[in-house]
Amino acid sequence: MVTSSAPGKVYLFGEHAVVYGEPAVPCAIERRARVSAREIDEGLRINSEDLQLDGFTVEYDGDGEDQPDVDVAQPILDAAMGYVNEAVSQVRDAADAPDAGFEIEIASDIPLGAGLGSSAAVVVAAIDAATRELGVELTPAEVAERAYQVEMAVQDGQASRADTFCSAMGGAVRVEGDDCRTVDGVGNLPFVIGYDGGAGDTGALVAGVRSLRAEYDFAADTVAAIGDVVREGEAVLGTDDYGTLGDLMDFNHGLLSALGVSSRSLDSMVWAARDAGAMGAKLTGAGGGGCIVALDDTDGALTALRYTPGCEDAFRAELDTDGVRRE
């Protein structure tokens, strides 16, 4: 049995707009998904002890067609299963072993569907572990490419490379279309995460932005403006100018709210963090529920979030410079 892990992420800037070729800067954080893979004679057996969604446990056997009987929104359940099934397909292709069977165990301390890149981390770790189990060693960039293909399949062609590249490479990265690169010299940004205990439906949220962008010119302009925010942020990334970074995070959240992907709980957490002195705060990920990220080097935002109605958890998140790795 081989075990690999990969980190989750927060978006400093650029979610949603990155789907349309605008740049984005996600940063890996020290919360990880761990996947163990053991080759078996045939079929696919997947056990997930902890996907951090109100006790959600996925356990099913066979070819992935069976559905576990759990009290979880169907789109999230379908996605969770689809990511692993597609990851195994990529492994079989990479190893030229179309009939390879696997027993896969997943443990994650990244909330599922909350905007912290849980699916990307699971997919990246699963591809790395299962290919190693078959005697094939992929580079992190090769893992990232195959993980991106998984997300494209599950998200009906509406995925970007940002989440999977960040999880595979670690640290801060910049993604613009197919151009993916690591960003050096960023340092340990003082991230604080607030989590409302919920999860957004990524597919529906991405589709909603796509529909809005196609119908209204101002929505397309809003998406382009997010790209402009990212470019402004790049100019100060890696400096100590947290004030400007925070201001740009605030702008980014406002633009995402205009696209309809925020929520009452996310807005409440964003404003609680700002009112407590955070230099900036925004939703992270697809939105609709889940997490916000604040920039604060004091205890103010962390304390305020813990007392904010609707905030289930709040914690600091260190930048994780390691990407996918064997455990």
pLDDT digits (tens, 9 = 90+) for 67-88: 554 444 555 555 567 788 899 9
Give exposure, 189-205, as e/b (b: 16+ Cβ within 10 Å). bbbbbbbbbbbbbbbeb
Q: What is the CA radius of gyration of the chain?
A: 19
Per-residue model confidence (pLDDT) at position 49: 60
pLDDT at 157: 72
Cα separation of 248 and 254, whole Å? 10
The distance of Cα 167 from the centroid of its chain, to the nearest Å, equals: 8
Characterize the bridge pairing of strands 2-13 and 101-108: unpaired
d(CA 303, CA 280): 16
Architecture of the domain defined by 2-184: 2-Layer Sandwich (3.30)
Where do the H-state alpha helices sit in 40-161?
Answer: 74-94, 118-133, 140-154
The vertex-93 CA angle with 44 and 102, nearest 5°, equals 20
Residues 6+ apart with CB under 8 A from 231: 23
Q: Are strands 101-108 and 44-50 parallel, antiparallel or unpaired?
A: parallel
Q: What is the pLDDT of residues 288-315, one digit of tens each?
A: 999 999 999 999 999 999 999 999 999 9
pLDDT score of 100: 93
163 given a catalytic annotation: yes
Give me the pLDDT at residue 70, please. Answer: 46
pLDDT at 321: 94
- Residue ranges of domains in the chain: 2-184, 191-317
The reported pTM is 0.88
CA distance 193 to 180: 25
Helix (H) or strand (E) holding 160: none
Find out whether 27 and 9 touch, Cβ atoms under 8 Å: yes
Cα 50 to Cα 73: distance, rounded to the nearest angstrom: 16
- pLDDT value, residue 42: 85
Domain at 191-317: CATH architecture? 2-Layer Sandwich (3.30)
For the residues of 285-303, what is the DSSP string, one character each? Answer: SS-SSSEEEEE-SSSHHHH
Please, which residues bridge with residue 294 across strands?
192, 281
Which residue of the set 54, 71, 163, 184 is catalytic? 163
Q: How confident is the model at residue 169, as a pLDDT?
A: 97
* Predicted local confidence at residue 200, as pLDDT: 78
Q: Which residues of the chain register pLDDT less than 70?
A: 49-80
- Between CA 75 and CA 141 the distance in angstroms is 29
Q: What does the pLDDT read at residue 15?
A: 94
Residue range 106-136, pLDDT digits in tens: 888 887 778 898 889 999 999 999 999 999 9
Q: Which helix (H) or strand (E) holds 254?
A: helix 242-258
